[in-house]
């Protein structure tokens, strides 16, 4: 059987609201579907996603001899000068030795011990924000999750508090480039944000070099391995990646998690007394993954689930779909805090496994423990942002 062709409904509001029934149909029909509009082979089954993450034959940077189809809709980052300057050394797009060396150096500046030292800061920030909200009605994202997450990543990196609003804006604008389809308007906005972000970071790194502090930007300038150090452009790309990756996914996990609980009639009050908070977090990230897909190129002709994938074809691993695969998870539609299998795909796997998973898990633990001191209620039906790739809400009106 040839790979079935579909038009993936990523702009359909009902699909965005709940993509899982459609993804289940795809999974059960055939392991791979070809999306005509994006040119991507969609991989929906758990085992296939895991195999791709472990394989060296699926790479996240464009192969050298790759020629783009004339009708290909996905953007080429190299067409945007500043966006490319902020992407060139983005770990997510690198492979082989350059990836491993850069990742090794960044990891040395991002140790678990250094992350755990942030716990008191997180506790204070979470409490301070919750004390300030209007308990009768507030936006869980704008009034709590966003300022919390940006403050944590800002504190880790050592960026000035007065600039947090700028980071939020830049980060929102840039991450739109990662969706399945990008409008010209969004691309222009992302390019302009990348320019401002790049210039800002360039200056900040100069300042940190003159006056190093106990923060990650200073550490990134200092770490070395076998006499190798990070270049300034590598540091800029890494800091921007950490801000973007570290911020959006964490905010959306807080939002998706609370909405998942409330729409499934699970009371938030003291949830962590009845169940292990660490298991609650893993189950909620599995149930509604904040990052729904990642793309790869096929390096050499290969087979997946017995289906041929030619060299240079492109695939998307659908993490949210894999996490609902009934061959891997028993009753996958159910939120179950006593689930034995916590091996979800939401933090990726293999060489690109999320480098900030330790930070994300701690941020979520502190944050959810504080939120779970309250009975949270939805005031209105929360509206999705409309994006498929980065799955979240525009606004979540709640009372506590
Ligand atoms: C709940 C929150 C988060 C989720 C669900 C998440 C998920 C992911 C996933 C799925 C990948 C792999 C992408 C791929 O396969 O191409 C990844 C990579 C990465 N994440 Fe996260 N992430 C989260 C939070 C964070 C945080 C807080 C940071 C740091 C501040 C971070 C930094 C990174 C980095 C640097 C990479 C690239 C690693 C590499 O390519 O070697 N993430 N993340």
Give 246-279 pLDDT, tens digit per residue. 888 999 999 999 999 999 999 999 999 999 999 9
The dihedral sign for the CA sequence 305, 60, 349, 186:
negative
Average pLDDT, whole number, for the chain? 94
> Does 178 sit in the ligand 1 pocket, CB within 6 Å?
no
Cα 381 to Cα 165: distance, rounded to the nearest angstrom: 27
| Separation in Å, CA 125 to CA 128, 334, 367, 371 | 5, 32, 9, 12
Q: Is the pLDDT of residue 1 over 80?
A: no
Closest ligand 1 atom to 247 CA? 27
pLDDT in tens, 224-247: 988 889 999 999 999 999 988 888
Determine the distance separating the centroid of ligand 1 and the alpha carbon of 72, expressed in angstroms: 27
> Does 245 sit in the ligand 1 pocket, CB within 6 Å?
yes
Overall number of domains in the chain: 1
> Does 103 sit in the ligand 1 pocket, CB within 6 Å?
yes
Cα 323 to Cα 327: distance, rounded to the nearest angstrom: 10
> Which residue minimizes the CA distance to atom 20 of ligand 1?
354
Does residue 219 form part of some domain? yes
Predicted confidence at residue 209, as pLDDT, reads 92
Does residue 340 form part of some domain? yes
Does residue 65 form part of some domain? no
> Does 157 sit in the ligand 1 pocket, CB within 6 Å?
no
Nearest Cα residue to 168 out of 251, 254, 258: 251
Q: Among the ranges 76-80, 160-164, 247-251, 287-291, which has the highest mean pLDDT value? A: 287-291
Does residue 29 form part of some domain? yes
Q: Is the pLDDT of residue 315 over 50?
A: yes
Q: CATH number of the domain at 36, please.
A: 1.10.630.10
Does residue 345 form part of some domain? yes
> Which residue minimizes the CA distance to atom 3 of ligand 1?
249
> Which residue minimizes the CA distance to atom 43 of ligand 1?
354
Q: Is the pLDDT of residue 129 over 50?
A: yes
> Which residue minimizes the CA distance to atom 35 of ligand 1?
355
Determine the distance separating the centroid of ligand 1 and the alpha carbon of 51, expressed in angstroms: 18
pTM: 0.94
Closest ligand 1 atom to 349 CA? 15
DSSP 291: B
pLDDT category of residue 377 using cuts at 50, 70 and 90: very high
Instruction: Tell me the residue ranges of DSSP E strands in 259-391.
Output: 293-298, 302-304, 307-309, 314-318, 377-378, 383-384
Could you list the residue range(s) of the whole structural domain that residue 200 is in? 5-58+75-399
Does residue 231 form part of some domain? yes
Does residue 68 form part of some domain? no
Cα 289 to Cα 95: distance, rounded to the nearest angstrom: 24
Does residue 384 form part of some domain? yes
């Amino acid at each position: 059987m040839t790979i079935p062709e579909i038009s993936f409904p990523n702009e359909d509001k009902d699909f965005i609201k709940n993509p899982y029934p459609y993804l289940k149909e795809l999974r059960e029909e055939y392991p791979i579907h070809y999306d005509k509009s994006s040119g991507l082979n969609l991989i929906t089954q758990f085992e296939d996603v895991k195999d791709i993450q472990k394989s060296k034959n699926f790479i996240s940077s464009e192969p050298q001899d790759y020629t783009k189809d004339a009708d290909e809709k996905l953007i080429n980052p190299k067409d945007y000068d500043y966006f490319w300057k902020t992407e060139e050394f983005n770990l997510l797009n690198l492979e082989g030795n350059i990836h491993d060396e850069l990742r090794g150096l960044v990891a040395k500046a991002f140790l678990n011990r250094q992350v755990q030292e942030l716990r008191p800061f997180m506790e204070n920030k979470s409490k301070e924000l919750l004390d300030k909200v209007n308990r009768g009605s507030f936006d869980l994202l704008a009034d709590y999750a966003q300022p919390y997450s940006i403050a944590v990543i800002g504190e880790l990196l050592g960026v000035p508090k007065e600039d947090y609003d700028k980071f939020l804006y830049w980060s929102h604008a840039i991450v739109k480039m990662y969706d399945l389809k990008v409008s010209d308007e969004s691309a222009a906005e992302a390019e302009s944000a990348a320019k401002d972000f790049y210039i800002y970071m360039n200056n900040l790194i100069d300042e940190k070099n003159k006056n190093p502090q106990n923060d990650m930007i200073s550490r990134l300038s200092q770490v070395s391995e076998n006499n190798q150090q990070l270049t300034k452009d590598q540091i800029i790309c890494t800091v921007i990646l950490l801000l973007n990756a570290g911020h959006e996914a964490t905010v959306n996990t807080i939002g998706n998690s609370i909405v998942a609980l409330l729409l499934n009639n699970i009371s938030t009050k003291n949830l962590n007394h009845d169940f292990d908070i660490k298991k609650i977090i893993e189950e909620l990230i599995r149930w509604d993954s904040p990052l729904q897909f990642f793309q790869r190129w096929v390096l050499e002709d290969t087979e997946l689930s017995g289906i041929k994938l030619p060299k240079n074809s492109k695939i998307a691993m659908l993490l949210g779909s894999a996490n609902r695969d009934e061959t891997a998870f028993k009753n996958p539609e159910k939120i179950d805090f006593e689930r034995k299998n916590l091996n979800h795909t939401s933090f990726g796997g293999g060489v690109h496994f999320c480098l900030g998973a330790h930070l994300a898990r701690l941020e979520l633990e502190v944050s959810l423990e504080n939120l779970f001191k309250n009975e949270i209620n939805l005031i209105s039906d929360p509206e999705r942002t409309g994006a498929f790739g980065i799955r979240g809400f525009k606004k979540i009106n709640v009372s506590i």
